[in-house]
Structure 1
Amino acid sequence: MTRALVPLSMSTIGLIPGRCRRCVAWELEAPAARLAADSGEAEFEKEVWLSGVMLTWGSAGQIVTVDEEPVGFALYAPPTAVPGAAAFPTAPVSPDAVLLTTARIEPAYRQQGLARFLFEGVVGTLTRRGVRAIELFGREDDPAAGDDRAENLSDRPADRWAEHAADDADIPGCVLPAGFARAVGFVEVAPHHRYPRLRLELGRDIGWKAEVEAALEELFASLTVPASPPPAVRELVGAGSNRDETGPAGCEIRPSRGCAARGPADRRR
């Protein structure tokens, strides 16, 4: 078995799952993301976004392959390049951090050390690029983590249920579980009963104990990329030349291109 890490680029974006390529919930503000989904332009907008990030910052992800077959991926970017993050109640992400939006290992390839291999690659690459920390938004699923967290939505009054439904309307559907993120070394920096923000400082050794590696496998195995609904009823779902080693260390960029601002003449199809 030959495994390798491939930087995400315009030539390799086709290696990530189609559902993720067609999701721009992270990459665009909510209204623009909905418009892109409804018009069938989401995949094009994803490519526009990636092109902008690569020009100003560098590669925005890693793809893990086994015998040249893509089996997993991790996507990340500076917080100013991820307008969809504003939907989270614990936003904004710290300006010195890179936001890990999503990561996944395909089911058939789990428990083979690939989650650790991918995560080590992400950490090593970002450390070499001068990034100080990785942050992510976690999904809190532990019913024992607090009274408000333990409440069942079906048991709440209608107005309270509506409040949570409204809060989640623009939240991407591929949020990683907070509990597993903590287990692999992320520390909570912005508490919340549903969507805490967590941080991993770079530039230090990460202890790969057996339980940490097991938690990492669970973290990257837990993501299910939602299917894209038909255009007529489409809602927000899911997730975000190689400069991976040489991109600038700074994170203050704004490669913002929404589909609403583009006319037919701008299409590259």
Structure 2
Amino acid sequence: MIRAQLLTPDPPSLTTFLNTHTRTRDCLIQIAGLAEVTYHGRAASTAEVGAYLVLIKRDGSLQIHAPTGIKPMNWQPRTDELTARVEHGRCVLHASRRSPEELVRVTFLHPHLALALNLYEEASFTLSGSEKQMQDALARHPELIEPGLTVLDRELLIDSGGIDLYARDMNGKYVVVELKRGRATQDAVSQLGRYVATVQKSGVAAVRGILAAPSITAPALKELRVRGLEFREMGAWPDAPAPAALPSLFD
């Protein structure tokens, strides 16, 4: 399973490691250590210097995790380019995409461990619960799809069908979200594309499309990128709050 491993690598060694294994996009990469993270794109942010776990998956997606919590503190759902180089004596990873134009920059100050792992999808994964439960949970917690997302409507009926979640992002752009409990296929991508096109025809110029599912097939991911749509990998969602207990006769 372990393809390559480096302990406390120096900047040139880590740079070579990252460029070698991100180029092939056929393994899972983990880097643990002290780092600084900056993001430029639809907003701008800088994470304080701290201990982080950086994950780069085979599809080019990037996640940066702090020592606590289940959500990444920064991520790129897909990347068009992953490059590492030595800058001012440090290994710096650049993860960028063109549409929308975004860049995550990770400066490794003191990396402790670099791993390249051979992990392959052998079986599909289907989330428990119905798509209605998934829709309800993500409508309550749209931040699980994207921070700053506000849900405007559910099951919004349009000419081409029903939009699972119709939302607005932190920059005011409208977002069409299609939900799938199992692995997303090209049919799901085509469906999302039709919904986005229908909303655009109604006069809304800036519309994003997000396909949220536990996984996606390689052909579907390729088509998604060609269409300029986005994928969000969804794990288990929060349980619905329990209904308030009714008072008993003697309360």
Q: TM-score range by the shorter chain?
A: under 0.3
Query: TM-score w.r.t. structure 2 length?
Result: 0.24
Q: Which protein has greater RCO, CA pairs closer than 8 Å, 6+ apart? A: 1
Over alpha carbons, which structure has the higher Rg? 2
Query: TM-score w.r.t. structure 1 length?
Result: 0.23
